[in-house]
Amino acid sequence: MLDYVEGAALVHDGPHSLVYRARLPDGGPVIVKLTRPEYPSPRALAAARREHAILQRIESDAVVRTYGLRRDGHRIALILEDFGGVGLDDLLSAGAPLPLGRFFRVALDLAQALMDTHSAGVVHKDVKPGSVVVDPVSWRCKLIDFN
């Protein structure tokens, strides 16, 4: 499993997917979103393919990029851009309000992501803090989870 990347570290264990942070053999950082369980349903496999196809249609610096799909045993792995971000939900879980400058940085990027997504004829249908990944240094963000 995951023999096409190096140093895979699990970052999310969800009901429909396992998400790993890893490196390609050339050293480039990636996120690997792997279907689960070991023998996913045809519906789960189709959802991964659909998410890849959707991401290919959207050209935006505020939406995570897809690098491709790979078979991983009976599963499918979606290979995604990793820009070092963390979930907005994790950043907000401390309970402290965002400073105004950070709030507006996130709001502007999220508005751009939605504009670019809608321009590509796509509706996200599940925008929430868990679907937004933020670079904790620059506070630039990207929209994820188009399944």
Alpha-carbon separation of residue 82 from 92, 121, 134 (angstroms):
20, 24, 11
Q: What gap in Å lies between CA 29 and CA 96, rounded to an integer?
A: 30
Question: Catalytic residues, which ones?
Answer: 126
- What's the CA gap between 4 and 92, in Å, rounded? 34
Q: What's the distance, Cα to Cα, between the start and end of the chain in Å?
A: 22
For tokens 């599940």, what's the residue?
A: 126
